[in-house]
Structure 1
Amino acid sequence: MRRFLVLCLLAGLLQGCAASEEKPNDQAQPGTAPATAPSNQPLATAPSDPPNDAAPAQPDAGQSQPRYENDRFQGVTVKKTKEDTFEVKGKARVFEGVVHYVVEDGHNELAAGVTQASAGGPEWGAFHFTLSVKKENPNTSLTLILFEESAKDGSRTMELPVPLP
């Protein structure tokens, strides 16, 4: 039994070493573009999912407001339309397309709601809603938090905090 275990470990180690050997430069790795391509053909790139952080993404050319993203929300923008009214747009990849949100001032929840995206996960569905919320204290800043509600226990998951302008 001990010999069998040692042989299995040795075989695994040798297989790992053989897999890590460098390949010659004239052979491309599977799933990657060659190092040089003819000038008339662009290099292929693999599609990628949105970043896993809640930091604002770079705005597109001609777009003035920042966009916020994480694994469940993509291209979220907030535009102030009136004194206490905001227009929220974006895409979501959430269960059954249900997007939950709350607005906080750092201490209290001032508003909460639910909106429906045009498609449910795993597809990206567009959502758009108008939010009216008034500050309780003029010296506070408001934060919109988009999230998916856990089917398991109802807790917030995949939160995306977005500062309101």
Structure 2
Amino acid sequence: MPFAPLSILPRSVMGLAKEVAKALLRRPVVGVSAAARTSDGRWLLVRRGDTGTWGLPGGTLEWGETLRSCVVRELAEEAGVVGATVGRLVGVYSRPDRDIRFHAVTVLVTADIAEPTRKPVNPLEIREVRLFRDDELPSEIALGMTDLLAAARRGEGEPILE
């Protein structure tokens, strides 16, 4: 097995290596973020390990994955959410300066969720998970996504077509 030595590396190291590889490729990547909300109206945010700021959960679309399955996977990995229901497409955002790591084209979708029941898979990437009422939301959301969350809060969006 030629890749056996890689299997002993912690998941966090492998995740970091994957992010570096994307930056080296110098091509835009497709990212998916979730404006996720509980039935009582609280918004799910994650405290990022790299910046220490609160942000929308999400990540990059993997080969062979649909937007829906990516959102469900990322909510489980980053926030410990089980059984998310993906709602509408809020928008597609491509401003290159949003993320200093790489140029991401971010697809923002809504999701209805129950309260998280598990810890994040990678504690180096996600330090904390919290539900916020509208009046508790931080004034700035990580990676320049304050306007994305504002669009979701206004109810913008269309059904997702797959």
Give the number of the structure whose alpha-carbon radius of gyration is greater: 1
Q: Same fold (TM over 0.5)?
A: no
TM-score, scaled to structure 2: 0.25
TM-score, scaled to structure 1: 0.24
